[in-house]
Amino acid sequence: MNNFKKAFQLAKLDIKERYIRSIIGPFWITISMLLTIICLGVVFNFLFKQSLEDFFPYLGIGLIFWSYINSTILEACKIGQENRGNFKNYNINYDFYIAKHVIKQTFVLFHHLVIILLIIFWFNIKIEPKIILISISLISSSVLLFYLSKIVFYLSTRFNDLEQIIMSLLTFSFYLTPIIWKKKFLSEYQYLVDYNPFYHIIHIFRSLLLNEPMYLKSLVIVIAMTLVLILVSKIVEMKLKKQLIFWI
């Protein structure tokens, strides 16, 4: 059985275990996400005096993909703890556990597809052929998150307090990224957002799903970030892999 198939099977069983006592399973997260989008949508609609048709889909797609990025990075800190027994008893490449983790988070994202469809139909958003690119965008962002998770896993296994630091950084990034606010609110300082890597990941999905203009720059930045993360993860792996088992 190849490693991807194995990781896929394990991710399925992980989800099954987590929601074993629930009839609707991971859709609980979807319901919670929908309620968050509705509440924030209504509040920020009043605060920023935006039209609901314009702001609600923007906020919805932004929050869904932010939660994917956020939970993938944050839960990567727990890969070592959650799989401790397996690490200590099976000779399986660590990449396999990271792949399982990213696949599991992607499964949860797929459950949010219901909200995306609701938004598209409720606000009568025209679906254009470029939506096909969403699969490629999803694969490329999953690859990026795989390497980011790998770095987070190695470092947080070695340093216990890194999880708290990452949690704070992610909260900080949430407010600095145009998720609940729009880039144009920054008027002459809009260029600052271009330095935020999370903006570019989310922007690609927004442009495909909400028919916003797609910037080649965002695509190039995501690919460049992935390449940098591959390089950094290899360095971290070389430095920490041999003795990592003793830190788990």
Partner 1 sequence: MISLRNVSLLAPIINYEQRSLKKNIIKNFELKNKVLLKDISLEIMKGEKIAIIGKNGSGKSTLLKLIGGVYKPTKGKLLMKEDNISLISELSAGISENLTGYDNILLKSIYLDLDLNEKKKQLHKIIKFSGLGENIYKVFKNYSDGMKIRLLLSISLFSLKNILLIDEIIGAGDLKFSKKTIKFLNSNYNKDKTMILASHDINLLKMFCDKGIYMKDGQIKFFGELNLCYKKYLKSESLI
Cβ pair 18, 27 in contact under 8 A: no
Q: Per CB under 8 A, which of residues 6..25 are in contact with partner 1?
A: 6, 9-10, 13, 16-17, 20
Q: Tokens standing for 214? A: 């797609």
Please work out the total of residues on this chain that contact partner 1, with binding judged by CB under 8 A: 29
Nearest residue to 202 (alpha-carbon basis) of 71, 105, 59: 59
Work out whether the CA dihedral 4, 6, 11, 12 comes out positive or negative: positive
Residue 181: CA atoms inside 13 Å, Cβ hemisphere, count? Answer: 14
What is the nearest approach in angstroms of partner 1 to the Cβ of residue 165?
A: 7
Among 24, 31, 92, 169, binds partner 1 (CB under 8 A): 92
| 130 is a contact residue toward partner 1 (CB under 8 A) | no
What whole-number distance in Å separates Cα of residue 69 and Cα of residue 200?
12
Residue closer to partner 1 (CB basis): 55 or 87: 87
Cβ pair 107, 12 in contact under 8 A: yes
Site string for partner 1, 36-75 (x = CB under 8 A): ----------------------------------------
Among 51, 124, 187, 243, binds partner 1 (CB under 8 A): 243
| 91 is a contact residue toward partner 1 (CB under 8 A) | yes
Among 133, 143, 162, 240, binds partner 1 (CB under 8 A): 162
Looking at 49-194, list the stretches that DSSP marks H as alpha helix, in order from N- to C-terminal side. Answer: 52-76, 79-82, 84-89, 94-111, 113-122, 133-158, 162-176
| 5 is a contact residue toward partner 1 (CB under 8 A) | yes
Binding site for partner 1 (CB under 8 A): 1, 5-6, 9-10, 13, 16-17, 20, 85-92, 155, 158-162, 165, 242-243, 245-247
